[in-house]
Amino acid sequence: MSNTKPFLNRYQTYDFVNRNPVIKNKVDVSHGTVLYMEGVSISFDGFKALNDLSLYINDGELRCLIGPNGAGKTTLMDVITGKTKPDAGSVYFGQTIDLLQMDESEIARAGICRKFQKPSVFEKLSVFENLELSMQSNRGTWVALFASLNSEQRDRIDEVLEIIGMTALRFQSAGILSHGQKQWLEIGMLLMQKPRVMLVDEPVAGMTNQEIDRTAELLLSLEGKHSVIVVEHDMEFIRSIAKKVTVLHEGSVLTEGTMDEVQNDPRVIQVYLGE
């Protein structure tokens, strides 16, 4: 039959059938590096937002990324997560996974997730339900709609509630949480996916001092279990969590080191004076 309707064509394949299996357990970190960016450049209307940038993140490391406005920090995160493809360079997840060959959703499913500045929790749902829902992509929508949680899934929610310090708030509706609590819940929602790499953009903007301290504790507690890249302008906060700090300037790495090393580097002082 020549006029077979497209959806009846048995040779047609569908996206949901072909979905890549979750490959996050197969990331080859035998050299200790979970993320490689080499020679990455990207121009917008002739302006080089990233300029021959190279960056290496160790498996399980907590890395701080700083730099004046326009340095390229957000663009760097856009490239890692597949939102933007660079003009040149390579970006690898472990030794073997070429992120430039993957789209945004494939990269997310592979275990690289991103926390945007503005929290986007489901206000009408409870803390617990928000975490439950964020498990959805692992369970498949079909399962999420019709099956109840198994004990392993409940355990994971309990574990994440503990990590984000919100066990006592599990039945609270998310709409009445404080700004800080919403941010932690959203970090928890990302943790439900057991990401290998988490990118966190300005997590403490708008937080009280107490919330900032708690966020520092939370991010530090992830070390070794997830690789986390934190972009933040609050230098006091960065100092409280920093091991290795990368300073970005004009789309390239200006320097890397401990907080003391970079803060005393005359080149770093120079670029921040220009702000």
Which residues contact ligand ADP by CB under 6 A? 44, 49, 67, 69-75
CB nearer ligand ADP, residue 67 or residue 203 = 67
Report the nearest approach of ligand ADP to the CB of residue 231 (Å).
7
Stretch that binds Mg ion, among 44-52, 74-82, 122-130, 267-275 (CB under 5 A): 74-82
Handedness of CA 167, 173, 175, 176 (dihedral sign): negative
Stretch that binds Mg ion, among 71-79, 151-159, 245-253, 262-270 (CB under 5 A): 71-79
CB nearer Mg ion, residue 73 or residue 182 = 73
Q: Is 172 in the site for Mg ion (CB under 5 A)?
A: no
Residues near Mg ion (CB under 5 A), total: 2
Q: Is 126 in the site for Mg ion (CB under 5 A)?
A: no
Residue of the chain from 41, 51, 58, 74 that contacts Mg ion (CB under 5 A): 74
Name the nearest CA neighbour of 79 among 102, 58, 45, 61: 102
Q: Is 136 in the site for Mg ion (CB under 5 A)?
A: no
Report the nearest approach of ligand ADP to the CB of residue 246 (Å).
12
Report the nearest approach of Mg ion to the CB of residue 73 (Å).
5
Paired sense of beta strands 62-66 and 47-58, if any? unpaired
127-144 exposure pattern, b = at least 16 Cβ within 10 A, e = fewer: bbbbbbebbebeeeeeee
CB nearer Mg ion, residue 117 or residue 120 = 117
Q: Which residues lie closer than 8 Å to 163 by C-beta, 6 or more apart?
A: 188, 191, 218, 221, 222
Q: Is 173 left (phi over 0), alpha (psi -120 to 50) or beta?
A: beta
Structure tokens at 66: 């700083």
Name the nearest CA neighbour of 168 among 184, 179, 146: 184
Report the interface residues with Mg ion, using CB under 5 A: 73-74
